[in-house]
Structure 1
Amino acid sequence: MVEAANLLTKIAEGDRTALSQLYDRYSRMIYAIAWKSLNSVEDCEEVVLDVFAQIWKIADRFDSDKGSVEQWIFTLARSRILDRLRKFQRLNKIHEAISTGKEIEFPTASVDPIEAVEILERRQQVLAALSRIPPEQRQVIEMAYYQGLTHTEIAAATGLSLGTVKTRLRLGLSKLKVTFEGES
């Protein structure tokens, strides 16, 4: 059996067979570790693939003076698992905020009653207009304006490409503009 450190050296040189051998040796263990945290076949498989894709790219960075191959590989796996858990936490917070329909709170101390009524009417108009646009456009608009997320954060949280997020925002805002111009 070829030593794991030698396999990494070969992988760094572009040897796909060495990557395959390393995969055969460690993929099940990585999967098992991922399963303890993720409990999802798809997510565990993605972690395993992400780890070996990363190994393919950075095999030359392995330093045997800093630890064993196993430690290095499991550190990579741990990072990928934590990344996925963080993504799930962000998505859960976003979905929770959207599904509970968190209300926008306005300060009442400095607002006169007439202004408060105007704000409430405008808010109802905005919510009505939002209900008329496609859900995927409404979602990114709510994330951007109600939650203050950047385009990049929305893309990361939803799993959409940055271009798709920007397009949905542009289209949704355009539809909102048309709706408000029609009401004027």
Structure 2
Amino acid sequence: MTIEPAFDEPLLKRIAQQDQAALAELYDRYAQILYAVAFKSLGSAQESEEVVLDVFSQVWRTATHYDNSRSRVDTWLFMIARSRTLDRLRRLQRSTKIAVASVDAVKSQPHPLSNDPIEGVLLSERRAHVLTAIAQLPEEQRQAIELAYYKGLTHSEIAAQLGLSLGTVKTRIRLGLSKLRVALGNWEPR
């Protein structure tokens, strides 16, 4: 498909008037190339898809502010995509540090004193199983759960720290907990 930048400005004017069909058309034109650009930096299909969604969400919200004297529409889209990709890279770096710190904290917690050696073994097995289940969650769900349960942050605090909407944080935690429930529901001590 050939992209004709001359047709982009009228689309953006329609988007500024909340025309969803125009947004869909602009999305169809640029989503694949923006995805490829994001994927090259992020190396993750899921994160790259999030970048593309963030770009078009921002276009929807800010189309009225687009200034054709400063850049072409495609250049503007690529600048937004670059910014969102860098934001995600920074967030992933922070979350990796947080995840490592929180997993280390759980691993370093002393085992409760118990006179029953079997209980101690069961607790160790349970801890290992929980850590394994948490490690298998998608990064954004694991990050939200760790911030909530290991760091004690509220959903609002997590949203502010990660730069996400409150609804997104709640959804990620709910989905992550649901996956943990399934993973841990079948667990029985050996």
Q: Same fold (TM over 0.5)?
A: yes
Matches within 5 A, 1:82-161: 82-101=86-105, 128=112, 140=148, 142-144=150-152, 154-155=158-159, 156=161, 160-161=169-170
Contact conserved, 1:51 with 1:76, CA < 8 A, in 2?
Answer: yes
2:33 matched to 1:26? no
| Partner amino acid, structure 2, of 1:28 | Q
Q: Structure 1: 5+ residue runs without aligned partners?
A: 105-122, 165-184
Alignment partner, residue 68 of structure 1 = 72
Contact conserved, 1:143 with 1:154, CA < 8 A, in 2?
Answer: no
Change in 2 beyond 3 A, CA 1:70/1:139: closer
Alignment partner, residue 35 of structure 1 = 39
Contact conserved, 1:11 with 1:19, CA < 8 A, in 2?
Answer: yes
Alignment partner, residue 58 of structure 1 = 62
- Alignment RMSD (CA, Å): 3.7
Change in 2 beyond 3 A, CA 1:139/1:10: closer
User: % of aligned pairs identical?
Assistant: 40
In 2, Cα distance between equivalents of 1:151 and 1:55: 27
Change in 2 beyond 3 A, CA 1:22/1:95: same
Change in 2 beyond 3 A, CA 1:62/1:95: same
With the length of structure 2 as denominator, give the TM-score of the two structures.
0.58
| Partner amino acid, structure 2, of 1:27 | A
In 1, Cα distance between equivalents of 2:94 and 2:43: 18
Ranges of 4+ aligned residues in structure 1 off by more than 3 Å:
101-104, 131-142, 149-161
How many residue pairs end up in the alignment? Answer: 140
Contact conserved, 2:147 with 2:158, CA < 8 A, in 1?
Answer: no
Alignment partner, residue 53 of structure 2 = 49
